[in-house]
Amino acid sequence: MEKFIIKNNGPLFGRVRVNGAKNAVLPIMAATLLTEGECYLENVPNLKDVRAMKEVITHFGGVFKDISVDEKYIQISKIITSEAPYDLVQKMRASFFVMGPLLAKTGVAKISLPGGCAIGARPVDLHLKGFAALGATITQGQGFIEARAEKLIGATIYLDFPSVGATENIMMAATLAEGETIIENAAEEPEIIDLSNFLNKMGANVRGAGTDTIRIEGVEKLKGTRHEIIPDRIETGTFMIAAAITKGNIMVENVVPTHIKPIIAKLIECGAKLEIGEDTIRVDASDIGNSVDLTTLPYPGFPTDMQAQFMALMTILDGTSVINETVFENRFMHISELVRLGADIRIEGHSAIVSGVNGLEGTEVVATDLRAGAALVLAGLAAKGETHVNSIFHIDRGYEDLEIKLNSLGANIKRVEVAEIIHD
């Protein structure tokens, strides 16, 4: 087990470059199951979750090669099984993205039910509603789900909630179905557009990604292709908050400004000065201080994946801020840890009321999930003294070299081994 030891080192200054988007590369890696052709993926981040998805690809018979530090080669010339076992899915629930491609390519997919996680039950009913609408027979057994279909037939599917994963899984399945599939109330995230671009380069016919209605005309076969993964808008936002919480001045590079509009708007409301370039954003937080309210919503609303990080900032703004979390039912696990650092936060249903305090005091805290961990690191940058963030394996799932990048901006973070604490 490892932890971060963070010493407050004052405002951050300098430039940092973000990597490719975790939530784009994971479904795109799953989509390579739809072809026997050779795929080359560029701007792939070096993350635990990418390594986990590599294991999934090789489990199904795929060849995965590192061409360079961020370029990967994937080819699955023959799918050798249609089952994804518990240990693979349990390690990373995004493995569930293989269900759509497997079903479309082989006619059967037997996937261990992905468990819930710290932020919620994470059901997959909308994924299954889509597969059933395409003609698959769904059976649920001890801890697994099986979908089976001789041939998938295009259908119109209304998503009760604009689920990112369900939109992606159904979109992938529909590429090889007979006829047209329409996904209504689809998720509109940039990662959906990136997946759609990848599928269309493979020869699919996907229209409308990025809107609430996506049309997919099924085709016979898909071929291998080359694709560059979009930059990670959540990593971008995390570094913007690192500047804000330390009242620093940093330039973030390899950015798509249109993907981070809600974060830009909210930081300006807090008093930050932003300079927006073609693929860069400068955050000058020397005068930051105003409290702000926000509500998380599906894209283009404020992203739930930035809720914990923004809350860390709110703990030291002047006045009271209110955060409403509307996407996940249990995404406030970081609050108790922020309170240990001296924050003043109370929960009222799906809202958190954050009263700004003069300063945070470093102490031992523990990451409960990926973004909660990032929020605690950000709080540690501003807290007096030393903050120890435990269970940082959560953070390594979604951030490549977070401490190295922050230290290049002037932070003082050490990654150290921790003796296993055995709880009786």
Which sequence positions are flagged as catalytic?
117
DSSP string for 390-419: E-THHHHHH-SSHHHHHHTTT-EEEEEE-P
418: number of Cβ within 10 Å: 12
Q: Which of 14, 115, 120, 385 binds ligand EPZ (CB under 6 A)?
A: 120
Q: 211 pairs with which residues across the strands?
A: 209
Which two structure tokens, joined as six digits, stand for 365?
């805290």
In terms of CB distance, is 205 or 324 closer to ligand EPZ? 324
- DSSP type of residue 286: T
Q: How far apart are CA 206 and CA 198, in angstroms?
A: 10
Q: Which of 7, 51, 122, 273 binds ligand EPZ (CB under 6 A)?
A: 122
In terms of CB distance, is 279 or 329 closer to ligand EPZ? 329
- C-alpha of 108 from chain center: 27
Q: Which of 157, 398, 411, 413 binds ligand EPZ (CB under 6 A)?
A: 398
- Choices 118-126, 175-183, 215-223, 382-390 (CB under 6 A): range interacting with ligand EPZ: 118-126
Closest by CA to 360, choosing from 332, 380, 336, is 380
Q: What does DSSP say about strands 72-75 and 63-66: parallel, antiparallel, or unpaired?
A: antiparallel
- DSSP type of residue 230: P
CB of 290 to ligand EPZ, least distance (A): 27
Closest by CA to 400, choosing from 231, 265, 223, 246, is 231
The residue type at 349: G
CB of 144 to ligand EPZ, least distance (A): 16
In terms of CB distance, is 26 or 44 closer to ligand EPZ? 26
In terms of CB distance, is 166 or 383 closer to ligand EPZ? 166
Q: Which of 3, 54, 127, 233 binds ligand EPZ (CB under 6 A)?
A: 127
Cis peptide leading into residue 298 (ω within 30°): no
Kindly list the distances between the CA atom of residue 217 and the CA atoms of 22, 184, 345, in Å, as whole numbers in the listed order.
Answer: 27, 15, 49
In terms of CB distance, is 92 or 317 closer to ligand EPZ? 92
- Choices 125-133, 255-263, 266-274, 387-395 (CB under 6 A): range interacting with ligand EPZ: 125-133
Q: How far apart are CA 34 and CA 79, in angstroms?
A: 10
Closest by CA to 267, choosing from 238, 247, 292, is 292
Q: Which of 125, 275, 279, 364 binds ligand EPZ (CB under 6 A)?
A: 125
The residue type at 187: A
In terms of CB distance, is 8 or 23 closer to ligand EPZ? 23
- Choices 5-13, 117-125, 341-349, 355-363 (CB under 6 A): range interacting with ligand EPZ: 117-125
In terms of CB distance, is 35 or 238 closer to ligand EPZ? 238
- Choices 54-62, 120-128, 218-226, 244-252 (CB under 6 A): range interacting with ligand EPZ: 120-128
CB of 84 to ligand EPZ, least distance (A): 15
Kindly list the distances between the CA atom of residue 252 and the CA atoms of 89, 263, 282, in Å, as whole numbers in the listed order.
Answer: 34, 13, 6
* Using rule CB under 6 A, residue 371 touches ligand EPZ: yes
Q: Which residue is nearest to ligand EPZ (CB)?
A: 165
Provide the mask over 166-205, with x wherever binding to ligand EPZ is found by CB under 6 A and - wherever it is not: x--------------------x------------------
The residue type at 265: A
> For the packed helices 22-31 and 48-59, what is the interaxial angle rounded to 10 degrees?
10
Residue numbers 142-171 binding ligand EPZ by CB under 6 A: 161, 163-166
Q: Which of 8, 23, 32, 82 binds ligand EPZ (CB under 6 A)?
A: 23
Provide the mask over 295-334, with x wherever binding to ligand EPZ is found by CB under 6 A and - wherever it is not: ---------xx---------------------xx------
The number of residues making up the chain comes to 424
In terms of CB distance, is 85 or 123 closer to ligand EPZ? 123
Kindly list the distances between the CA atom of residue 64 and the CA atoms of 163, 194, 351, in Å, as whole numbers in the listed order.
Answer: 29, 21, 44
Binding site for ligand EPZ (CB under 6 A): 22-23, 26, 94, 120, 122-127, 161, 163-166, 187, 304-305, 327-328, 370-371, 398
